[in-house]
Amino acid sequence: MTDVTSQPAPSAPPRNVTGDSITLDGVVKQYKGQDTPAVERLDLEIEAGDIVAFVGPSGCGKTTTLKMINRLIEPTEGRIFIGGRDVTREDPDKLRQSIGYVIQSGGLFPHWSVAKNIGAIPRVLGWDKKRIAERTEYLLDLVGLDPATFADRLPKDMSGGQQQRVGVARALAADPPVLLMDEPFGAVDPITRVRLQDSLIAIQHELGKTIVIVTHDFEEATKLGDKVLILSEGGHVEQYATPERILTDPATPFVEEFVGSGAKLAYLTVSRVRDVEVDPVTTARIGESSQVVIGRAKAAGHTWVVVVDESGRPRSWPSLPEVASKPEVSDYLDRRLPVVAQSSTLNDALDAMLAASQGATLVTDGRGAVVGSLSIGSVTDVIQTKLAEGHAAVEDLSYETYVDGSDPTPTPIVAAADEPGSAGPA
Ligand SMILES: Nc1ncnc2c1ncn2[C@@H]1O[C@H](COP(=O)(O)OP(=O)(O)OP(=O)(O)O)[C@@H](O)[C@H]1O
Ligand SMILES: [Mg+2]
């Protein structure tokens, strides 16, 4: 292994699309016994191969809309087309076999092994055992779980994030063109959540499915969505556009408030690691001669190296003196190693660095192989640039140009209690 060169991946890689378009045409849902419809009248076009994220306040009709697409909920009015086919006329059971569906915490059958869970729909479809076994192995690998380790496990013997990965694998089992996900990453910790989001983006780039994901987290929506649909009560469309568009040009006061005043910093959540040039790293294989590795690192001007496995996935990042402490490169796994994917946002990268108390993070490609490192300095440079652009946009008011007496705003109070309980409402 030699140096990994620092070539940022192209921002828009050519896409392999296997998904179908989805069209909602005048779709209404009126639940029995409710005064107003949960979804008043929704028209929506989702392009094949896109990820579209639905966001909006609780009760605005996100889940209702999602479930009408696979007819877990029957629309009261209107028509839904998938790949141009009017599915409102199709057998709902057949339809659901051709649409992957992922719910919060995976929704796995608790008494079934991972393999049995993943094979559920293929078995209904009458696939033979061998084909199901091969598909299961492929999918476990795709979602980043070792088939040998996990195929026979029961869901209860896995972490929430691992169960969620199995949920995604199961939804993809019969190779559906459309994947529907309802708050799939709601119940996992923030770091696992970032990993799952990155895996989903990687899977999407590899498979080109059409994915509709419901979330109440605007940041997650902007990270995952090629387009974001912001809904208000009654399934009313406030804005349906790219994340960049929503941030720079909110269509309504509702969107503006929803996005929040941190819109400029929200750029951190739409700026990707792949848009920033990463620094090259020297990699080393387990079992290589430490002297050879040190020589290679010095020649490249590096003070540390990245130890990788056979797939190029990072295990540790020892300094040269650490490397020198053993004759051969160790297989030590550093569990606190900060790692983000190229699809991660700069915000994720900062989180990873802070969580590991490090000034840099490693960057990996869609399969988890290291492609370089990103320093906190590169990230802050991007923030500085964005903030400078932001300041330029704000009208130029300064001490000198201010007209005395023109702003009656009282002095803002910024204070913190020195001791707990020493301050507070009297
Ligand atoms: N089976 C039902 N019968 C009657 N009303 C329902 C039913 N399911 C949902 N609703 C109502 O329809 C509206 C939309 O519900 P929905 O579940 O689609 O919201 P949501 O946007 O997914 O909310 P959340 O973010 O809380 O999951 C809500 O007012 C809800 O109370
Ligand atoms: Mg919901």
Average the pLDDT over each of 43-47, 98-102, 188-192 and give the range with the smallest value. Answer: 188-192
377's tokens: 């300095």
Which pLDDT does position 49 carry in this prediction? 94
**What is the residue with the minimal CA distance to atom 18 of ligand 1?**
61
In this model, does residue 419 exceed pLDDT 70?
no
Q: Indicate if the pLDDT at residue 13 is higher than 70.
A: no
Ligand 1 pocket residue status of 58, Cβ below 6 Å: yes
Give me ligand 2 centre to Cα 179, in Å. 16
Query: Residue 357 has what pLDDT?
Result: 83
Whether the predicted pLDDT of 393 surpasses 90: no
The pLDDT score that the predictor gives to residue 325 is 96
Give tens-digit pLDDT for 192-214.
Answer: 788 888 888 888 888 899 999 99
Ligand 2 mean position, distance from CA 30 (Å):
16
The model's pLDDT over 126-137, given as tens digits with 9 standing for 90+, comes to 999 999 999 999
Give distance in angstroms: CA of 40 to centre of ligand 1: 13
pTM of the model: 0.71
Q: Is 215 touching ligand 1 by the criterion CB < 6 Å?
A: no
pLDDT at position 198, please?
A: 87
For ligand 1, mutation pick of 60, 68, 231 (most atoms within 8 Å of CB)? 60
Average pLDDT across the chain, whole number: 86
Ligand 1 touching residue 62 (CB < 6 A): yes
Over the stretch 50-105, which tens digit does the pLDDT of each residue have?
Answer: 999 999 988 999 999 999 999 999 999 999 999 999 999 889 888 888 899 988 77
Q: Is the pLDDT of residue 330 over 90?
A: yes
Residue 6 has pLDDT above 70, yes or no: no
What's residue 321's pLDDT? 94
Q: Are 287 and 329 in contact (CB under 8 A)?
A: yes
Residue 307 has pLDDT above 80, yes or no: yes
The whole-number pLDDT of residue 3 equals 45
Res 417: pLDDT: 61
**Which pLDDT belongs to residue 269?**
75
Whether the CB of 38 sits within 6 Å of ligand 1: yes
Please report which ligand is nearest the Cα atom of 234.
1
pLDDT band at 261 (very low <50, low <70, confident <90, very high): low
Instruction: Give, using CA atoms, the residue closest to atom 4 of ligand 1.
Output: 31
Q: Quick one: pLDDT at residue 249?
A: 81
pLDDT at 31: 94
pLDDT in tens, 370-389: 999 999 888 878 777 766 66
Reduced 3-state DSSP string for the chain: CCCECCCCCCCCCCCCCCCCCEEEEEEEECCCCCCCCCEEEEEEEECCCCEEEEECCCCCCHHHHHHHHCCCCCCCEEEEEECCEEHHHCCHHHHHHCEEEEECCCCCCCCCCHHHHHCHHHHHCCCCHHHHHHHHHHHHHHCCCCHHHHCCCCHHHCCHHHHHHHHHHHHCCCCCCEEEEECCCCCCCHHHHHHHHHHHHHHHHHHCCEEEEECCCHHHHHHHCCEEEEEECCCEEEEEECHHHHHHCCCCHHHHHHHCHHHCCCHHHHCEHHHCCCECECEEECCCEHHHHHHHHHHHCCCECEEECCCCCEEECCEHHHHHCCCECCCCCCCCCCEEECCCEHHHHHHHHHHHCCCEEEEECCCCCEEEEEEHHHHHHHHHHHHHHHHHHCCCCCCCCCCCCCCCCCCCCCCCCCCCCCCCCC
- The secondary structure of 27-78, three-state, reads EEECCCCCCCCCEEEEEEEECCCCEEEEECCCCCCHHHHHHHHCCCCCCCEE
Greatest mean pLDDT among 186-190, 249-253, 398-402 lies in: 249-253
**What atom of ligand 1 comes closest to residue 63's alpha carbon?**
22
- Taken in order of first residue, the domains within the chain and their CATH numbers are 22-260 (3.40.50.300), 275-380 (3.10.580.10)
Q: What is the pLDDT of residue 15?
A: 67
pLDDT on residue 322:
95
Would the pLDDT of 12 be above 80? no
Pocket test for ligand 1, best of 34, 104, 238 (most atoms within 8 A of CB): 34
**Residue from 29, 55, 64, 76 to probe ligand 1 pocket by mutation (most atoms less than 8 Å from CB):** 64
